[in-house]
Structure 1
Amino acid sequence: MERATILGIYDFIGYSLCRYMLDLGVEIDGIDPEGNIEDYFTEEKRLEIGRNANFTEIGLKDWEVEGAKGFLFVTLFGSLQTRKGTDDIVEALLTKLENRHLKRLPTAVILPAYFAQENVKLREADTKISHFISSRESTLLTIYLPTIYGPWQPEDCFFQQTMTLSSIDDRKIPDIGQWEWTHDCLYIDDAVKTIKEMAESGHQGQYILSSGEQGRWLQCAEELLGKEAAILRKEVKTPVIKGSIQVRPVEQNEQISKGLSRQKEQFTRIQDSRV
């Protein structure tokens, strides 16, 4: 893969995928669909990847689908999982994806795992995305992700909230978000490596990535909370995944302690730089 476009460049997954591919020498066009929403973390990310000569940031309105070269990755994982700021861009996004579908241009859509669950109640915007994927499966690669942890995990996620509370000596265990997938988790580098490999190999259809390890999300929680994580051991009914979706295990899982340590280090660095 020599060139790619990432829509959702400052999304947790999009940013990490961009960094990974830039390190491999891939030329990246990055699109920030929420370009009018700026925060400290976006500024930090922009500074970091903006130094790379192979990276170009373009606006959603300036993105010409017809002339686009290379693979397109649509990564709205973070904003969809936290239910923030996606409704307004869905229509524009689906129109552009339809144009790519008609031209049979290679496209991967990365979504939170709850989209893969049978009988889940979706918002109107989510339902439109789900219906589009179901009817365009022959030209799309759709990848559903469980909880992803590691550097730059969104502040709304359970593991990041736990680190935040620990830094202010508050031992209260944070609430788990309604849409956070507690049935499995992957380290960010393992996830983006698998996404790129699947896209590059020409995979199409729908897949949910798996660690292949039972109780891995809880193992991460225990690493952060110790004995206090025992209250999280609830009888949770295993979700039913749609029959059209294949399970794709990652080849190798990062050691939990190492992955969380890197997340803590990055979190501390950002917090110190804001003082």
Structure 2
Amino acid sequence: MDRVIIYGTYHFLGFSLCEKLLDEGIQVCGFRLSEEISEDFLEEKKLLIGRNANFEEKMVGSEAVTFMEDSLKSDMIIVISFYDIYYSIDEYPFLILEKILMNINKQYSDVKVIILFPTDFIEDIPEAVNRQFNHLKENEFRIQKIYIPTVFGPWQPSVFLFQQYLLKEFLNAEPKLDKRETTSDAIFIKDIIDLIIKLMKSNEMNDYLIQSNSSGQWFKGAEHLKLKLATNKLAINDLTASGTVNIIKLKESISIIDGLEQQKRHLSRLFQV
């Protein structure tokens, strides 16, 4: 794996993945989804990766990636972080995904495409998007779907409850659980990024549902932060894999308490406290 295209490169998973790949010396082209879609701490992120010689930035709908032109197609992996799209816009996120898939289908062929989904969509993908998946498969693209629960740690977006609580100190806003947030599980950002890269390097093309090795992680985090939630938000979704989707139980490298403290320290640095 020498070259990677990331759609959603300045969002949570997309940025963390991009930063890790660049650290490993891998060439990355990062596509921004739209100037109208909010990207938390955009300027700070650009300072961290924008000057890297292995990084190229483009906007969705722009021309094909220049550093790919003379390379073997099989060298390339495309990562679409629909996870980030879903948590960044309130309405019609699948229209963005459909546009990206059409863009890929026009410009490339015979490459591996990895799509990062929230766990909510393990059985709920619109027909229009499935049609685009089928078009890609007809053109010999290799499609892999990875379903991911709530992810926490540095750069977590403010749509998530943990980040809202930690931001209270700086922005004086009242935390509110968003209807999109998955409370069934929580995984630290470094752990999920390391796993995604491992799957990127693998020749296997299975679809995966990622779960923490320890149960109740999200609620442990909420308890540590002393969050008060309405009772109707406390139901845990028992997600199970079916068909061709396999479960990966991910062993955490850090406790959720230590991970949240790391997230808090990161925010303090951003706000220079």
Fold agreement, TM-score > 0.5: yes
Using the size of structure 1 for normalisation, the TM-score is: 0.82
Alignment-derived partner of residue 46 in structure 1: 46
| Unmatched runs of 5 consecutive residues or more in structure 1 | none
Alignment-derived partner of residue 150 in structure 1: 153
| Unmatched runs of 5 consecutive residues or more in structure 2 | none
Work out the percentage of aligned pairs sharing the same amino acid: 27
Deviation track 1:13-50 (CA, whole Å, cap 9, x = no partner) reads 00000111111111111111213556661111112111
Alignment-derived partner of residue 60 in structure 2: 60
Quickly say closer, same or farther: Cα 1:135–1:99, change in 2 above 3 A: closer
Specify which of 101, 107, 110 is matched with residue 116 of structure 2.
110
Quickly say closer, same or farther: Cα 1:163–1:259, change in 2 above 3 A: same
Alignment-derived partner of residue 207 in structure 1: 208
CA RMSD for the aligned pairs? 3.0
Q: Does 1:92 align with 2:95?
A: no
Alignment-derived partner of residue 74 in structure 1: 80
Q: Which amino acid aligns with 1:221?
A: A
Q: Does 1:190 align with 2:191?
A: yes
Deviation track 1:95-150 (CA, whole Å, cap 9, x = no partner) reads 1343578x32111111111111x4x5x6xxx5533554478678211111100001
| CA–CA separation in structure 2 for the residues paired with 1:212 and 1:135 | 36
Alignment-derived partner of residue 15 in structure 2: 15
Deviation at residue 232 of structure 1 after TM alignment: 8.3
Deviation at residue 230 of structure 1 after TM alignment: 10
Alignment-derived partner of residue 178 in structure 1: 179
| CA–CA separation in structure 2 for the residues paired with 1:32 and 1:180 | 23
Higher deviation after alignment, 253-262 or 149-158: 253-262
Quickly say closer, same or farther: Cα 1:235–1:149, change in 2 above 3 A: closer
Deviation track 1:169-207 (CA, whole Å, cap 9, x = no partner) reads 77x6x3322121111111011101100110111221311
Deviation at residue 91 of structure 1 after TM alignment: 3.6
Alignment check: 8 A CA contact 1:222 1:229 kept: no
Deviation track 1:207-248 (CA, whole Å, cap 9, x = no partner) reads 11111211111111112227x579688443524544332111
Higher deviation after alignment, 132-141 or 143-152: 132-141
